[in-house]
Amino acid sequence: MTILLRRHAKAVRGCAHGLVALVLAGCGGSNPLDNPPTVSNPANVSGQRLSFAYFQRCINPIFNTVLGNNTCAASGCHDDRDGTGGALRIVPNAATIDVTNPANTPDVIRATDMYRNFYSAQGMTLLSSPLDSRLLTKPLVRGVLHGGGQIFSNDQDPNVRRILYWISNPAPQGQDEFGTATYNMFTPADPNVGTCNS
């Protein structure tokens, strides 16, 4: 009788394992061993840079604003110390830099936490296809999962419009991320007092 019960238990476990494998194979509507669908990742051939001034005044504050239950820069999300949120790393409440002060040279700015945030966010963008940038597709949950869930409801969200504007308006060819030509992204064209265009 004991041997018969053991055989029955093994058979039940075997069926359960098979059922779990079958259910998992159906997750997402495909075989879990399949490769993901082809992702378009066009190369940036322009060599252009995104505006640091616009990022600092208009994009970085988005990361420190409570959106839903948390901030993007929160611990457990994209905090640079203990966040679990993939490649985007944010130093919470990084100090702002007066980009119009001649003492703040590019080398000085590049050594700051704000620049670390800029550099990380810039790595999540596609200048050749702004709407396909991870900085937008992740919080919109558009074709990719986001551990924090859907943060922005649609393309008309003011934060989405600002991020899209930033990515779609790089510095002119030949200028770096600190080029003063990007000041026209503000009204008036002053990175210290101007409002963020979008």
Dihedral angle of Cα 190, 186, 97, 72, to the nearest 10 degrees: 160
* Residues 113, 22 share a domain: no
* Residues 20, 66 share a domain: no
* Residues 181, 140 share a domain: yes
Confidence of residue 145 (pLDDT cuts 50, 70, 90): confident
**How many distinct structural domains can be found in the chain?**
2
Per residue in 53-101, pLDDT tens?
A: 999 999 999 998 888 777 787 777 876 677 777 788 889 999 999 999 9
* Residues 56, 27 share a domain: no
Range of the domain at 114: 52-196
Say if 161 falls within a structural domain: yes
> Once rounded to an integer, what is the mean pLDDT over residues 100-110?
97
* Residues 112, 21 share a domain: no
- Please give the model's pTM, rounded to 2 decimal places: 0.75
Burial of 127 (C-beta count, 10 Å sphere; 0-12/13-18/19+):
buried
Confidence of residue 11 (pLDDT cuts 50, 70, 90): low
Confidence of residue 46 (pLDDT cuts 50, 70, 90): low
Say if 37 falls within a structural domain: no
Instruction: Point out the least confidently predicted range of 8-12, 30-34, 119-123, 185-189.
Output: 30-34
Say if 36 falls within a structural domain: no
Q: Residue 109 to residues 98, 102, 118, 167, 178: CA-CA distances in angstroms? A: 9, 11, 11, 20, 9
The pair phi, psi for residue 96, each rounded to 5°, is -80, 155
- Give, as one character, the DSSP assignment of residue 186: E
Say if 42 falls within a structural domain: no
Judge whether 187 and 197 are in contact, CB under 8 Å: yes
Say if 67 falls within a structural domain: yes
